[in-house]
Structure 1
Amino acid sequence: MSGRGRIVITIDGPGASGKGTVARIVAKKLGIRYMDTGSIYRTFALLAREKGVKPGESEKISRLLKNCEILPVCSEDSSYTVTLGGRNVSADIRTPEISENASKFSQVKEVREVLGLIQRAHGENTSIVAEGRDMGTRVFKDADYKFFLTAEEGERARRRAAELKQEGAGATLEQTAAELSSRDRRDSRRKHSPLKPADDAVIIDTTHLGVDEVVEKILNLVEGWKSF
């Protein structure tokens, strides 16, 4: 447990399972901080692109990790930004290319270890909802509440395709489904911190649930925590 007067909630799951939207709302309703840990990997991928470092270039990755200044800014009103060397890159990291490379860099043990330290540091001594893919299994193993959101592949592909269309991207449903499936395989089979539910996580299938319904399920389980 995280300690009296402080609560740590982890929400993990594959892409388009609803974890990001749900985590933000839960944090806002509880009046505590929210952290999107995927954005930290995206920011490293952006830094690597700017420095010309590719996945697989181990020595260059190690040097980059020693000098990367990635800072997640988790505000009490649940707003969230991430900076790179003091520069707000929250919008710059939301591209398909960055997302794909973030997944590839996340396979590297050293990357997960160093970025995990950044994530853990920003969850220390504060109440937080941490959303990602290994929050409950690695970064916050002693979290008070752990959730793992999932959904059928077809539904997740539909959701992601709708998001991309709204953002002006032209990916088809078939392309989106293939990309999600590839990311799922890569994340669930990786050697270091594979995507899977923590043994003590509550698993919620969001396929036929609205966002508000998922939020309600989570809040009902954490209802006894009254220190916020």
Structure 2
Amino acid sequence: MSNTNTDSGSNAETSQESAPVITVDGPSGSGKGTISQILATKLGYHLLDSGALYRLTALSVLKNDIDTNDIEAVAKAALELDVVFEPQIDGEQKVLLNGQDVGVELRLDETSEMASKVAAIPEVRDALLIRQKKFRQSPGLVADGRDMGTVVFPDAKHKVFLTASPEVRAERRHKQLIEKGVDANISHLLKGIIERDERDRTRTVAPLVPAEGAFVVDSSTISIDEVVQQIFDFIGFSE
């Protein structure tokens, strides 16, 4: 993820607001993170992994043993995140929270479940909204998340909604965790994905739904390259 600074001056603000945005929304394990990184790299755009901000908030809540019923404390954790994103040569990104590499912890099932809970808190979403909007800078932005096209960048020129079956997504997450040396039970992962999908779809604040006019892609049975090509066809981009 490219971390960006706020532009100053009316001309800079206008440039920031007019920078093109491609939103890629979808549930956990749909492949939107990988797809978004590929799109951003090929287009030369900035990248916003909004889910990382919610997972970082969740991780801060877990590490500091904050009661999720204490809305003020959870929102304060979101506001005061000490976060650094460091791009790596291999295309991955190192995520530092309070100076510590938390890349593996961010992908743990416990963190994902907590992220779903804190994301349903309006005060947390408000705290992170302005930070997310600041990523919109020239030459453009690929925004990966759950409400990028519906809430954060409703004026985005191109909106994509990426999905896949719960079973496929559980298999992907299981493989990802095993490759990182993290023990994982696929049945538990599947149960968690189904429960999280229900929470995300039915929450009153920014529910997980395709934005109006979004291009919906089911990646269950097609390759990453095929997904990318379908999106490029949709936005009218040719390599």
Of residues 33, 46, 55, the one that matches 1:20 is 33
Letter in 1 for 2:193: L
Letter in 1 for 2:146: R
Deviates further, 104-113 or 115-124: 115-124
Query: How far does residue 181 in structure 1 lie from its aligned partner after superposition?
Result: 0.3
1:63-115 per-residue CA deviation (whole Å, 9 max, x = no partner) reads: 3344334455679x976444445655444423222222111111100101111
Tell me the distance in 2 between the aligned counterparts of 1:125 and 1:81.
23
1:150 lines up with 2:163 in the alignment: yes
1:32 lines up with 2:45 in the alignment: yes
Contact 1:72 1:122 in 2 (8 A): no
Cα 1:81–1:36, aligned 2, differ >3 Å: closer, same or farther? farther
Q: Which runs of 5+ in 1 are unaligned?
A: none
Alignment match, 2:107: 94
Matches within 5 A, 1:32-71: 32-70=45-83
- Determine helix, strand or coil for the equivalent of 1:53: coil
Cα 1:12–1:223, aligned 2, differ >3 Å: closer, same or farther? same
Cα 1:154–1:96, aligned 2, differ >3 Å: closer, same or farther? closer
Alignment match, 1:115: 128
Q: Which runs of 5+ in 2 are unaligned?
A: 1-14
Matches within 5 A, 1:75-224: 80-85=93-98, 89-224=102-237
Cα 1:160–1:84, aligned 2, differ >3 Å: closer, same or farther? closer
Contact 2:95 2:103 in 1 (8 A): yes
Cα 1:225–1:114, aligned 2, differ >3 Å: closer, same or farther? farther
Query: How far does residue 170 in structure 1 lie from its aligned partner after superposition?
Result: 3.0
Contact 2:19 2:136 in 1 (8 A): no
Query: How far does residue 56 in structure 1 lie from its aligned partner after superposition?
Result: 1.7
Provide TM-score, normalisation by structure 2. 0.82
Tell me the distance in 2 between the aligned counterparts of 1:104 and 1:88.
23
- Determine helix, strand or coil for the equivalent of 1:160: helix
Tell me the distance in 1 between the aligned counterparts of 2:232 and 2:38.
10
Letter in 2 for 1:33: H
Deviates further, 160-169 or 29-38: 160-169
Tell me the distance in 1 between the aligned counterparts of 2:62 and 2:200.
21
Contact 2:174 2:186 in 1 (8 A): yes
Deviates further, 57-66 or 16-25: 57-66
Tell me the distance in 2 between the aligned counterparts of 1:3 and 1:114.
20
1:3-25 per-residue CA deviation (whole Å, 9 max, x = no partner) reads: 89832100000111111111111
- Determine helix, strand or coil for the equivalent of 1:143: coil
1:40-65 per-residue CA deviation (whole Å, 9 max, x = no partner) reads: 11111222233321322113224334
Letter in 2 for 1:47: S
Cα RMSD, aligned residues only: 2.7
Letter in 1 for 2:107: R
